[in-house]
Structure 1
Amino acid sequence: MNYITVHDKTFQPFIYEAEIQIAVSKIGERIAQDYAGKHPLFIGVLNGAFMFCSDLLKSVDVPCEVTFVRLSSYDGITSTGEVRSIVSLQEDIEGRDVILVEDIVDTGLTMQKAMASLSELKPSSLEIASLLVKPDCLQCELDIKYKGFEIPEKFVVGYGLDYDGLGRNFKDIYQLKQE
């Protein structure tokens, strides 16, 4: 087993690149079917969703646009549930079909707040696409229409996900090794 070390933590393989790419392709195909004849705007949540968003757009076969916002609710390996920073959305989304692209939904509180803020801008439709979802951690009602994997309550890095800024560059996803 190929363990990696990020800062002071050891991680073990969890989801391999090939599995990730299959899941991303399936999400992209479903979005392409759902948005046939439309022109959706994808809003990627930085920094974590940049890899997922990039691969997802490659698999969506409809005209689309992409932009990014920055949301943060993590402190180390723990979700604070509070959005710490937001880089403003520059695009007018009124009347647009919008898909918010997230790397992982943990408590759901960040996504709930982001969805509420975006809803105020009157998009025609608003959906969430998340590579990973931790159903056991959800603290609010959240409709995630497009999801790759439901995972247990484990801290993960790789494929855009980080631990205090490091680990995003791994092509596989690793979970925190139990001591």
Structure 2
Amino acid sequence: MQKKVLFSKEQIQERVAAMAAQIDSLYAGEELVVICVLKGAFAFFSDLLRNMKTDVIIDFVRLASYGNKTQSTHIEITKDVEISLEGRHVLIVEDIVDSGKSMDFFTRYLSSRGATSIRIAALINKHGRREKSIEPDFAGFEMEDGFIVGYGLDFAEKYRNLDAIYELYDFTL
């Protein structure tokens, strides 16, 4: 398996700071619930929050996708949000929006919990396999296709600790 740098540590820091400023501008004076989608978004979530000035309440969710190695057919919440969302603005922090299935499922779920508004901040907006018409409101990087790791993103639970984002090639799923 080989990898090459796609987005450097410095590029990531710059984009995360810019996204935090956009979010702060939108939610100035508002209370915001920020939900981290585990496990992949943890690094992005931490850095994003450290760059934000907005008052936030944080929570975590874990979504599991079931299906074959490359395509999910069923999504389930394995760790739910614990706080009330009724009448609150919610920002979902996700590592990557790919097919859109997970975010479509989760935004509908949060809506049923009474959130006033729901927006998505994704580190990576990957268009190549999009099946649902859902777009992140804030995106760090745009890409069409490719398998990436680092900065929270994994391959078989490895490489999450890398401080840059790498594209993997010459590997098998």
What's the TM-score, normalizing by structure 1? Answer: 0.90
Q: 1:26 to 1:155 in 2, by over 3 A?
A: same
2:19 to 27, 41, 45: 27
Q: Contact (CA 8 Å) 1:42, 1:100: kept in 2 or not?
A: yes
2:122 to 130, 146, 153: 130
> Paired residue for 2:88?
96
Q: 1:77 to 1:147 in 2, by over 3 A?
A: farther
The alignment covers a number of residue pairs equal to 171
Q: Quick one: distance in 2 between partners of 1:144 and 1:111?
A: 9
Q: 1:81 to 1:49 in 2, by over 3 A?
A: farther
1:68 aligns with 2:66: no
After the TM superposition, which segments of 4 or more aligned residues of structure 1 sit over 4 Å from their partners? 74-77
- Give the root-mean-square deviation of aligned CA atoms: 1.7
Q: Quick one: distance in 1 between partners of 2:65 and 2:141?
A: 21
Q: 1:116 to 1:88 in 2, by over 3 A?
A: same
Q: Contact (CA 8 Å) 1:43, 1:99: kept in 2 or not?
A: yes
Q: Quick one: distance in 2 between partners of 1:105 and 1:143?
A: 8
Q: Quick one: distance in 1 between partners of 2:28 and 2:73?
A: 35
Shift of 1:163: 0.6
2:10 to 1, 18, 21: 18
What's the TM-score, normalizing by structure 2? Answer: 0.93
> Paired residue for 2:134?
142
For structure 2, the 5+ residue unaligned runs are none
> Paired residue for 2:98?
106
> Paired residue for 1:117?
109
Q: Quick one: distance in 2 between partners of 1:100 and 1:155?
A: 22
For structure 1, the 5+ residue unaligned runs are 1-8
Q: Contact (CA 8 Å) 2:65, 2:74: kept in 1 or not?
A: yes
1:164 aligns with 2:148: no
